[in-house]
């Protein structure tokens, strides 16, 4: 993958970072890039300019760290990024115990919103066939220890037998994620469900619930309800098709989005976009799956749809309807390919990663 510098004087599209990652990353990230290029060409948008950058295990070998400072500096000059999965559990110490690459990038650039759709695919093995929801996850605070203190982490041990974790909730962070959720709901089915545990964590989760409801009063056209996290998991399984936008704190959002992705068919189909007000990073919701790496059987759908979300986000930010259309085309082509029975083994099919990618590219070239 190299930059798409034009020699004919034509316009150049967004400049995007490519971070391959570990495990199945070298298979699914190039697949997403190929599909994005095909969609942009089919839509008639300016070609994308790709900038590969080191991250993860290969960066440790080449740069002595999984997240080189030079990579972060280069990302700052680009319009958006596509990040593959990482296998930080396999890194040598001290890197295994440090903040992982995706967390480092999110924290460095203040990517406070994690947008995770879960949409059932016709022709796939969805547990909840009618599911079409989005989990809006606050990405900077909550009970994740790597994201709630200025220095160090929010975990400590006053004695060898006692471990304590801090949970941080601020009105500013809750308000901005709530606004993200309600704005998204206005473009969908106009319903927001706030998930919390305020009956037990009265101050922290109570603040989250109450601020979300305060923001909701600014959106009288959007219906609002709320659920305790334990009830939310049950209702997702029993009536997942009834949900539209779910907004919740960091840890609950991580758990609920994985559950919703599997209910919709497979984590292999679960995309994700990390955003701030002015930056965005496409990142599939699943992990690096080292057990199937290099076998050409990984499902690239989540990475493809994450990249499509990035194209749509960039189109919205730039006021570029053609770029938005390119993102929509990826969604349509992926769905059409699945409907035709072309799927990877996790969805019950026998198609390879490369075969599925070729089928989606062909669908796009044919006007899909």
Query: Any bridge partners for residue 114, and if so which?
Result: 137, 274
197 catalytic residue (yes or no): yes
Whole-angstrom CA distances from 299 to 185, 231, 341, 363 are: 29, 31, 14, 17
**8 exposed, middle or buried (CB, 10 Å; 0-12, 13-18, 19+)?**
exposed
The pairing of strands 280-283 and 273-275 is antiparallel
* Set 144, 219, 226, 325: catalytic member: 144
* Set 226, 258, 325, 346: catalytic member: 258
* Set 79, 226, 244, 254: catalytic member: 254
What whole-number distance in Å separates Cα of residue 178 and Cα of residue 13?
A: 31
320 catalytic residue (yes or no): no
CB 101 within 8 A of CB 212: no
CB 298 within 8 A of CB 344: yes
CB 192 within 8 A of CB 181: yes
* Set 197, 219, 244, 325: catalytic member: 197
Query: Any bridge partners for residue 168, and if so which?
Result: 142
What whole-number distance in Å separates Cα of residue 66 and Cα of residue 47?
A: 30
144 catalytic residue (yes or no): yes
Catalytic residue set: 144, 197, 230, 254, 258
């Amino acid at each position: 993958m190299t930059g798409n510098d034009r020699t004919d004087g034509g316009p150049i599209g967004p400049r995007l970072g490519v971070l391959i990652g570990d495990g199945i990353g070298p298979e699914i990230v190039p697949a997403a890039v190929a599909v994005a290029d095909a969609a942009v060409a089919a839509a008639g948008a300016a070609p994308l300019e790709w900038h590969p950058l080191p991250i993860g295990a290969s960066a440790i070998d080449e740069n002595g760290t999984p997240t080189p400072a030079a990579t972060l500096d280069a990302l700052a000059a680009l319009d958006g990024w596509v990040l593959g999965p990482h296998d930080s559990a396999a890194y040598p110490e001290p890197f295994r115990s440090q903040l992982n690459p995706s967390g480092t990038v999110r924290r460095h650039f203040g990517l406070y919103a994690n947008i995770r759709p879960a949409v059932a695919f016709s022709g796939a093995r969805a547990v909840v066939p009618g599911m079409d929801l989005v989990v809006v996850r606050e990405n900077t605070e909550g009970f994740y220890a790597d994201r709630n203190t200025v220095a160090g982490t929010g975990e400590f041990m006053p004695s060898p037998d006692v471990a304590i974790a801090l949970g941080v909730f601020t009105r500013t962070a809750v308000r901005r994620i709530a606004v993200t959720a309600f704005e998204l709901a206005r473009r969908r089915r106009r319903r927001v469900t706030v998930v919390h545990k305020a009956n037990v964590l009265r101050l922290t989760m109570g603040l989250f619930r109450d601020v979300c409801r305060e923001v909701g009063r600014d959106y009288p056209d959007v219906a609002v309800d709320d659920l305790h996290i334990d009830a939310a998991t049950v209702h997702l399984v029993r009536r997942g098709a009834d949900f539209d936008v779910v907004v919740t704190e960091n840890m609950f959002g991580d758990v609920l989005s994985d559950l919703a992705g599997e209910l919709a068919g497979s984590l292999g189909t679960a995309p994700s976009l990390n955003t701030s007000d002015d930056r965005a990073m496409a990142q599939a919701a699943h992990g690096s799956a080292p057990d199937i790496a290099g076998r050409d059987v990984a499902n690239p759908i989540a990475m493809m749809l994450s990249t499509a979300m990035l194209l749509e986000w960039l189109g919205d930010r730039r006021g570029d309807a053609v770029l938005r259309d390119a993102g929509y085309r990826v969604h349509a082509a992926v769905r059409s390919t699945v409907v035709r029975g072309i799927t990877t083994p996790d969805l019950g099919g026998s198609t390879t990663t490369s075969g599925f990618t070729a089928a989606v590219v062909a669908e796009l070239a044919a006007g899909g």
